[in-house]
Amino acid sequence: PQLLLHHRHAPPSGNVLKYFRRNKSGKQKGNKDDIMPIVMACMSMSKQKIGALIVIERNLPLNDIMRSGEIIDANINQRLIENIFFKNSPLHDGAMVISKKRIKAAGCILPVSHSMDSYKELAAHRAAKGISQETDALAVIVSEETGNISVAYKDIFHLRLSAEELERFLTEESA
């Protein structure tokens, strides 16, 4: 496992998310309507130190994960994301799953990583690490302790992302 720290002006390492773009395999291209509600919700929750865990399905289906929570199947919407993760919301403790440009489920249970010994272990980070180890999904974490936004992808954490870095991370096309 690797731990990557980002500085304000350093671009995220690697182009990771094919989910939002149409490429040679016919995947959908993302636009601001798909990505900005996620970024804006994460920024808002970060300022209020509201914890969140948003998993974005890529190639491997997350049907079992979705079935562990409540099926929602709604458009991606900033207010809905914030309401789901509001501290006393019934679904705030689990993960939200986004698939095919829709919020598919919330309150989902993720596999937990047992290999996190290099830095302070937090429940959401362990769950994000677990999903990134077992699938090709991307997990966005907002820490309720610090308000920091991180992304786990392919067993690597990208920590302390700014809004611009998160947006870039979600829109970059794989090389």
Tell me the per-residue pLDDT of 5-50, one tens digit each, with 9 for 90 and over: 343 333 343 333 333 433 444 444 456 778 999 999 999 999 999 9
Cα of 1 vs its chain's centroid, Å? 18
* pLDDT given for residue 29 in this prediction: 46
Query: In a 10 Å sphere around its CB, with 0-12 CB exposed, 13-18 middle and 19+ buried, how is residue 44 labelled?
Result: middle
pLDDT of amino acid 18: 38
Element (H, E) at 156: strand 156-159
**The pLDDT of residue 99 is above 50:** yes
pTM > 0.85: no
Predicted confidence band of residue 1 (pLDDT cuts 50, 70, 90): very low
Question: Kindly report the CA angle at 130 between 127 and 133, in degrees rounded to 5?
Answer: 155
Question: How high is the pLDDT of residue 169?
Answer: 85
